[in-house]
Chains A and B, each alone.
Chain A
Amino acid sequence: MMRLTTMNTALKKCFTISAAFRGPWTLLKKELLRFWRVAFQTVASPVITALLYLLIFSHVLEGHVQVYPGVPYTAFLIPGLIMMSVLQNAFANSSSSLIQSKVMGNIVFVLLTPLTHLQFFLAFLLAAIIRGLVVGVFIYLGAMWFVDLEMVHPSLIFAFAFLGSALLGTFGIIAGIWADRFDQMAAFQNFIIMPLSFLSGVFYSIHSLPPIWQKVSQLNPFFYMIDGFRYGFFGKGDVCPLISLAIVGGSFLVLAWITLKMLKSGYKLRA
């Protein structure tokens, strides 16, 4: 009888904890369903785009360019393309969800709830990370048709994919809160995310650039995410992966702090 009561109490405790987490869990579930309902646009489309890049660049440049000794150009290209897509889609998930909700006015359904700013942040962040990783996994599976790619340091691959998508997911939340119109969001996408991702060493090693552009590339946080992620596959990179990891992790913490400040103050959400 005593044991039954203890078990009952333990079960009740578990239930209480799960009820406390139900709010942010529901928001996360809604955000995941939101992108999954339009998976053609949010998953299939970036996967096909990345595989087309791979098809064209590997066809044109395979045999003409060798970045690392013993690594075919197609193999070199794949991690860069995966990471670029992971980052772009993590950004797109949180930013597009927020701007759509703001423009359509349905953000009010979340703002009226007792969710804290931290819970709001974590739900949008995790949804962005998951979308980024899902896109990345599908591109990896598709790329297997082109070349057999080994993973030298799987933990580094996961760490960079996770932290990179967290960084861009957070940046997407900032953009989504700040932007009031779709064209402002497009400016973020076209003038910040696209140039930084294309000029980050996805298609080349920065050692092939003139010294001045190597220095410029080192100011681009995308470069460290791509290079670190690629290091996980080949055990070779342009900079030490631990330095890259520290830069990516540090950047994430700074952006997360800014985002939490914005959410706590109600910036552009609660006047």
Chain B
Amino acid sequence: MITPSSKPAIKINNVYKNFGSLQALNGVDLTIEQGEFFALLGPNGAGKSTLISILAGLLKPSAGDISVMGFDVVNQYQQARQLLGVVPQELVFDPFFNVREMLRFQAGYFGRGPENDIWVDEILEGLGLADKAHTNMRKLSGGMKRRALIAQALAHKPPVIVLDEPTAGVDVELRQMLWEFIKKLNRDGHTIILTTHYLEEAEALCNRVGMMKQGNIVALDSTANLLNKFAGKNLRLTLGDVTLPLSIQPLMRHHDRGEFTFALNDMAQIEFVLAALRTDNIKVIDMQLNEADLEDVFLSLVGKKL
């Protein structure tokens, strides 16, 4: 049930969260409009899950406030949670029940009754769970459990859906199926907020990206704008254990176990890099030239791989 409203799907206003002396969130501000497909990216410990937990009411903010379609998640938690479906990161399940029972219970907690069964069938079909509807949760494979977890978050047909690492450790087939289903939900008007370690997924699916580092949002823009800002080519050279000539060090974006990535603004810089290597007698073992992608943007901003 999507409630028409002009309020942002999610509004995060100056949110702080401390765990003792650890500052997990450091004044986060973020607005996600209705109908967006938004990616929240960041390395482990950046604060993504803490932010989602506060949004879902599993944690309390130390300061600041969050609202879902205008409803405060602390003071108006009943209305806010009605509008929100959260897929937790951990693969948790209730071993006493089968898939359909779990979905009915989950919908029931939100006040949905037998009239919701059509939607439950649609979810089961969309996530490839129809033939497992009467299978006990314990007997499902890891991938199937993940599907059931996603189905549970959707059981009450929330207009705002948060998927915290939904494809962690799942096979390609499920990923494709899941994204097709989520894209359909987004087309139908649901707002999707996604955290993922697969940046190519975020790049392909999301129209806006927020990047987090040490409890702060360090980048927030449309995917296209972020890619444009960091437009250019990536020259990946496998050089082995060497020290780069000083002249080309400013071009280096990243290096990992003998593989060096250079950010180039134009093709002429390729010869400049290769010439500098030749001068220092550094042999090129392998060479690749690619367009910059979201991972490069992430590396530039956050300074490490996701």
A-side residues, CB < 8 A to B, are 18-20, 22-23, 25-27, 29-30, 33-34, 37-38, 101, 104-106, 108-116, 266, 270-271
Asked if B56 is at the interface (CB within 8 A of a chain A CB), the reply is: yes
A259 to B173, CA, bound (A): 46
Docked complex Cα distance between A104 and B94 (Å): 8
Q: Which residues of A contact B77 (CB under 8 A)?
A: 114
Q: Tally of A-B residue pairs with Cβ under 8 A?
A: 84
Say whether A270 contacts B57, CB under 8 Å.
yes
Cβ-defined partner of A26 (8 Å) among B59, B90, B93, B108:
B108
Question: How far is it, in angstroms, between the C-alpha of A43 and the C-alpha of B12 when the chains are bound?
Answer: 49
- Contact between chains at B92 and A110 (CB < 8 Å): no
A101 to chain B, nearest CB (A): 8
Please, could you name 28 A-B residue pairs with CB atoms under 8 Å apart, sorted by A?
A: A19-B113, A22-B108, A22-B111, A22-B113, A29-B105, A29-B108, A30-B105, A34-B96, A37-B96, A104-B93, A104-B94, A105-B88, A106-B92, A108-B88, A109-B102, A109-B109, A110-B109, A111-B58, A112-B57, A112-B81, A112-B84, A113-B110, A114-B81, A114-B110, A114-B111, A116-B78, A270-B58, A270-B60
The verdict on B82 contacting chain A, using a C-beta distance below 8 Å, is yes
- Of B77, B84, B106, B109, which is in contact with the most chain A CB atoms at under 10 Å from its CB? B109
Does B95 interact with chain A (Cβ within 8 Å)? yes
User: In the complex, A177 Cα to B245 Cα: how many Å?
Assistant: 61
CA distance A184 to B123 in the complex (A): 39
Question: How many Å lie between the Cα of A196 and that of B195 in the bound state?
Answer: 50
Report the separation of the CA atoms of residues A213 and B240 in the bound assembly, to the nearest whole angstrom: 82
Given contacts A115-B109, A270-B58, contact A109 B94 (CB under 8 A): yes
Instruction: Give complex CA distance A25, B84 in Å.
Output: 21
Closest Cβ neighbor of B137 among chain A residues: A106
Q: How far is the CA of A22 from the CA of B105 in the complex (A)?
A: 10
Q: With the chains together, A109 CA to B102 CA distance in Å?
A: 10
A105→B81 contact, CB < 8 A: no
Establish whether residues B92 and A104, one from each chain, have CB atoms under 8 Å apart when the complex forms.
Answer: yes
Contact present for A19 and B60 (CB under 8 Å): no
- Closest Cβ of chain B to A30, distance in Å, is 5
A109 & B106 in contact (Cβ 8 Å cutoff): yes
B179 at the interface (CB under 8 A from A): no
Residue B112 is within 8 A (CB to CB) of chain A in the complex: yes
Q: Are B59 and A271 in contact (CB under 8 A)?
A: yes
Check if B150 is an interface residue, CB within 8 A of chain A: no
The residue on B at minimum CB distance from A18 is B113
Which of B59, B78, B94 interacts with A114 by CB under 8 Å? B78
Q: Contact flags (1/0) for B58-94 with A, using CB distance below 8 Å? A: 1110000000000000000111011010101010111
Interface centre among B60, B82, B96, B152 (most CB of A within 10 A): B96
Return the contact of A22 from the options B58, B84, B94, B112 (Cβ within 8 A). Answer: B112
- Chain A residues within 8 Å of B181, by CB: none
Task: Please tell me if the beta carbons of B60 and A108 are within 8 angstroms of each other in the complex.
Answer: no
Binding site for A on B (CB under 8 A): 19, 56-60, 77-79, 81-82, 84, 86, 88, 90, 92-97, 101-102, 104-106, 108-113, 152-153
CB-CB nearest in chain A for B77: A114
Residue on B with the closest CB to A35? Answer: B96
CB B116 to nearest CB in A, in angstroms, measures: 10
Give bound CA distance, A106 to B56, whole Å. 15
- Bound form: Cα–Cα A20–B108 in Å: 10
Report the nearest A residue to B81, measured CB to CB. A114
- Most chain B CB neighbours (cut-off 10 Å) among A22, A106, A110: A106
Q: Lowest 7 A-B CB distances belong to which pairs?
A: A26-B108, A105-B92, A113-B109, A114-B78, A114-B81, A106-B94, A22-B111
The complex places the Cα of A37 from the Cα of B112 at a distance, in Å, of 24
Give chain A residues whose Cβ lies under 8 Å from the Cβ of B153.
Answer: 112
Q: A22 contacts which chain B residues (CB < 8 A)?
A: 108, 111-113
**A18, A23, A34, A105: which contacts B90 (Cβ < 8 A)?**
A105
B198 to chain A: closest CB distance in Å?
23
Which of A25, A114, A266 interacts with B60 by CB under 8 Å?
A266
Which partner residue on chain B sits nearest A115 by CB separation? B109
Q: Cβ of A34: which chain B residues have Cβ within 8 Å of it? A: 96
A19–B79 alpha-carbon span in the complex (Å) = 15
Interfacial chain B residues near A101, Cβ < 8 Å: 94
> Could you tell me the distance between the alpha carbons of A266 and B94 in the complex, rounded to whole angstroms?
22
Which of B58, B96, B104, B113 contacts A112 (CB under 8 A)? B58
Closest to A21 in B: B111
